Chain A
Amino acid sequence: MHEIALMSDIFTIIEKDWNKRNLEPVNKVSLIVGELSNAMPDALSMAFDIHKTYNYPFLANEAQLVIHIEKALAKCTICGESYEPDQRISNCPNCKLPSGKIIQGETFKIQSYESRDQE
């Protein structure tokens, strides 16, 4: 359950940026989470709700977490076929060899956060 620690890092990054701007509290946080990033969306959502109870000044009570899943994708170095990997990530379904390289699915980023401008 390292998602609690990950969420703490996410909050630190957002808070640091938010402090530099003149904004209302954040009401939406958007993440990109790769299927192979080792971060579980459900656990991240739970960690977000837990962190929200600490009443961070930069975060609105009604703040929502939006998770964009990045699909895992591999490409065979022999036949060039792209495929969505299963448990045996490197096995090309065409060549039946462990010849696949991951080309997508490991991203774990804060895409953006949303708030209201203070006029």
Chain B
Amino acid sequence: MTTSKTIQLNEDVLADNNQAAEYVRGVLKDKHIFCLNLMSSPGAGKTTILEQTIKELPSIYRVGVIEGDLATEMDAERIRTSGAYAVQINTNGGCHLDARMIAKILHELPLEDIDILFIENVGNLVCPSGYDLGQQHKIAILSVPEGNDKIPKYPVMFRRTELVLLNKIDLLPYLNFDVGVALEDLMGINPESSMIQLSAKTNEGMDEWISWINKSYNQWKEAMK
């Protein structure tokens, strides 16, 4: 005779990912590495911003990059040319990076020789926002050509990030993008977020971004003591 049985689990679906994220966070803390997770749509300019950031950062910082893409080694090669250590994760069609992928590849980087680790997530404004990768900060990149509607249409990404880099501001004179409305939308979703306007092409605003990294790095270092 059989009877029906209900097993109560009440288990967080992302528990395994979050455990891996804590492992990554622990390794990075041991090695004194500050980690930023960059997320955006495809084509918003993540790799170009990274190339410029590596050039503009004070030379005291040694930079490592984990590149997340569906396929190819192209971005990692671009980053190596800029003078940083880079490893590539190919998700083979997967639309986001998760902490288990980071944990698996982390030790391929020369961790003793890195102060700041950037994770360039897969280009996607939805899926990556749900995954803790063990980073100190999550950053969203939005570009002017994508239009004003992206912040209200993809609120979870902007709710779960602490900073928005508005890229390609050199195109503002040619496109119907209203920065005031974008700021208003961002505050309406996440009042604790902030926005830095920049152009990785003309370098305008890059100094503010570099200052933000400096300040955040120093705050983190202070908290580590």
Task: Kindly state whether residue B1 has any CB partner on chain A within 8 Å.
Answer: yes
**What 11 additional pairs, Cβ within 8 angstroms, besides A108-B13, A116-B5?**
A2-B130, A13-B15, A39-B130, A87-B188, A91-B188, A102-B159, A112-B9, A115-B4, A115-B5, A117-B2, A119-B3
Q: Are A87 and B15 in contact (CB under 8 A)?
A: no
| SS of A interface (majority) | mixed
Q: Are A109 and B13 in contact (CB under 8 A)?
A: yes
Q: Are B1 and A112 in contact (CB under 8 A)?
A: no
Spell out A's residues near B (CB within 8 Å). 1-2, 5-6, 9-10, 12-14, 17-18, 21, 23-24, 31, 36-39, 87-91, 98-99, 102, 108-119
Q: B188-201 interface mask toward A, CB cutoff 8 Å, 1 = contact, 0 = none? A: 11110000000000
Residues of A within 8 A of B3 (CB): 116-117, 119
Residues of A within 8 A of B187 (CB): 90, 98
The answer to whether residues A9 and B16 also contact, given A36-B156, A112-B9 and a CB cut-off of 8 A, is yes
List which B15-43 residues lie within 8 A (CB) of chain A. 15-17
**Which of A18, A37, A98 gathers most chain B CB within 10 Å?**
A98
Using CB atoms, name the residue of chain B closest to A115: B5
User: In whole angstroms, how far apart are the Cα atoms of A31 and B12 in the complex?
Assistant: 10
A87, A98, A99, A111: the one within 8 Å of B155 (CB): A87
Task: Kindly state whether residue B96 has any CB partner on chain A within 8 Å.
Answer: yes
Residues of B within 8 A of A13 (CB): 9, 11, 13, 15-16
Residues of A within 8 A of B15 (CB): 13
Using CB atoms, name the residue of chain A closest to B152: A87
User: In whole angstroms, how far apart are the Cα atoms of A38 and B187 in the complex?
Assistant: 20
Residues of B within 8 A of A6 (CB): 13-14
Residues of B within 8 A of A114 (CB): 4-7
Q: Are A110 and B10 in contact (CB under 8 A)?
A: yes
Residues of A within 8 A of B10 (CB): 109-112
Q: Are B4 and A89 in contact (CB under 8 A)?
A: no
User: In whole angstroms, how far apart are the Cα atoms of A118 and B2 in the complex?
Assistant: 6
Q: Are B152 and A88 in contact (CB under 8 A)?
A: yes
A67 to chain B, nearest CB (A): 12
B9, B95, B189: the one within 8 Å of A17 (CB): B9
Q: Are B127 and A2 in contact (CB under 8 A)?
A: yes
B204 to chain A, nearest CB (A): 28
User: In whole angstroms, how far apart are the Cα atoms of A45 and B9 in the complex?
Assistant: 19
Q: Are B13 and A99 in contact (CB under 8 A)?
A: no
Task: Kindly state whether residue B210 has any CB partner on chain A within 8 Å.
Answer: no
What are 25 A-B pairs with beta-carbon distances under 8 A? Answer: A1-B95, A6-B13, A9-B14, A9-B17, A13-B9, A17-B7, A21-B7, A31-B13, A36-B156, A38-B156, A87-B188, A88-B152, A90-B188, A98-B187, A108-B13, A110-B9, A110-B11, A112-B7, A112-B8, A113-B7, A114-B6, A115-B4, A117-B3, A117-B5, A119-B1
Residues of A within 8 A of B16 (CB): 9, 12-13
